[in-house]
Amino acid sequence: MDFHRLVAPVFIAVAASIAAFVGVVVVAASLQDDAALDAEAKVIEQDITSLPKSLEVLAEDNAWWDEAVTNITLEEDIEWMDTTVGESVSGIEDIHGLLVVRPDGSLMYSSFVEDLPAPHVLLDDGFKDLVLSLPQPEPQLPVSRSGYILADGRLLAFGASLVQNTGTNDLDDVVTKHGHPAIIFIAHLSKERLKEMGMATAIEGLSLLDHPGNTDTTLPILDVTGKTVRYLTWQTAAPGSDMISKMLLPAAILLLIVVLAMARFMRRASMLFRELEGANKAKSAFLASTSHEIRTPLNAILGFTELMSLELYGKVEGEKNKEYLTLIRQSGEHLLSIINDILDISKLEAERFDIYAEKVDPILVVDASCKIIQSQASEKHIELTKVCEPAELYSDERIMRQVLINLLSNAVKFTEPGGQIMVSGHVVNGRYQLVVRDTGIGMTRENIQKALSLFGQVQGEYVRNHTGTGLGLPLVSRFMELLGGDFAISSVPGEGTTVTLGFPLYGTKDQA
């Protein structure tokens, strides 16, 4: 067994766990950053919208008033405007200017508390067109508008409302004759104002840009015509990214601990693997040595038993004695087959089993194997058939014959009298496929796994009537791997078992 293949799943599992954890953290951080960005954008958009709206409310409060109609529309009383409407400019912090514009767009009154563009510049840059675009009011319905205008390079929020009577006195005819002036309150969206907005909402870096930035933290500001005049940008809080940056050092320490733990695991696992490998080789060497030492005297026993049975050096008296000699020879041959299987397994595990691959005729190998098993099949009245097409294989004929004998022997052993065993051979997908199929007792999936393990024997009422070491299928599996072939087994309890062997063709010997 390869040590690296053994520990690879552990490393894959650890790496996958780390990657999954990092992925979850990154995704969670990204979602948190997106949520924070959306929340900031909504707060800023609400603040940007609320400023001109508040100016609109103030303008409407001062314009929809009968006294304003009398003093502004009818009398154009500058002193009254200065002491009444103008006080809002100096008394309210967020208001930086006031314009009172006649219905024809000319200036009637202005008051500034900040260095804003000149009144005629403000009118030319949009406020005149704004007043002229306001519709004629209907009774008891104020006409107001708010938004932003870019004047002389400065972004100004405004709230405008037409001066009109509330309907409580008879001024409609007079007002219709003079028209409706407009009161416009103005606030400059300066750097200081943006800083105050940021401090109030805990958002840093609020600033205005002439062009959109390269980040997602950009909000366009539209004027009254729907044209984008400026872009508002800010520094997003990015709590998810901040969390990841704070976790980098603990994560690096944790990763270092994992690496050190895995390195220690590798050293200990490698040491244990070498010890197990040494013990396994020692076991295989012991089995091989013991099997060899047992096989030598066993061959002598079988030889002398055979000589006694032939009665070359004297007659064996009594039928019982002859029967005992036959039993001794049969038991010895069975024991020798077991020892040979153990010796083969030992050589395979010790990687000392030599193969001699050459061109092989599969029909001859199948015929020879079936002849050896034919007598056992005939005793149980089992029909043994074979259908093989000619081909040239690249294999070790001796091992190939042993594989077939093992499979046929198992098939005879576990097939009830009157059953069938079929051997077929065909070229399939560039390989010669030998199939051994029987109508025996069959196996479950768990039984197949047990039968493929060393010394694994499937337990059952029928199986207990037969002897064996549980090395037949494990030997077949290991021999096929050694030959560069394929091995597959399928079985259905009560219906039989099918074993499929795939051998490389002679022309594809380099693939073996």
Q: pLDDT per residue over 462-492, tens digit each? A: 444 555 555 668 878 888 888 888 889 999 9
pLDDT at residue 325 in the model:
80
Is the separation of the CB atoms in 359 and 393 below 8 Å? yes
Is the separation of the CB atoms in 114 and 129 below 8 Å? no
Q: Which residue has the tokens 């733990």?
A: 261
Res. 167 pLDDT band, cuts 50 70 90: low
Res. 401 pLDDT band, cuts 50 70 90: confident
**Maximum pairwise Cα distance, the chain:** 160
With b for 16 or more beta-carbon neighbours within 10 A and e for fewer, the 408-423 pattern comes to bbbbbbbbeeebbbbb
Question: What does the alpha-carbon distance between residue 127 and residue 136 come to, in Å, rounded to a whole number?
Answer: 17
Is the separation of the CB atoms in 392 and 360 below 8 Å? yes
Is the separation of the CB atoms in 436 and 410 below 8 Å? no
Give the lowest-confidence range in 51-65, 309-323, 485-499.
Answer: 309-323
Q: Taking 90 as the threshold, does the pLDDT of residue 159 lie above it?
A: yes
Q: Taking 60 as the threshold, does the pLDDT of residue 295 lie above it?
A: yes
Residue 366's nearest CA partner among 509, 503, 473 is 503
- Which ranges in the chain are annotated with CATH 3.30.565.10? 358-511
- Which ranges in the chain are annotated with CATH 1.10.287? 266-349
pLDDT at residue 511 in the model:
44
Is the separation of the CB atoms in 366 and 434 below 8 Å? yes
- Which ranges in the chain are annotated with CATH 3.30.450.20? 9-237
Spelled out in words, what is the top-level CATH class assigned to the domain 358-511? Answer: alpha beta
Spelled out in words, what is the top-level CATH class assigned to the domain 266-349? Answer: mainly alpha
pLDDT one-digit tens code per residue, 412-425: 988 999 999 999 99
CA-CA-CA-CA torsion sign (176, 178, 179, 180): negative
pLDDT at residue 160 in the model:
95
Residue 234's nearest CA partner among 258, 220, 210, 218 is 218
Spelled out in words, what is the top-level CATH class assigned to the domain 9-237? Answer: alpha beta
Structure tokens given for 231: 């872009």
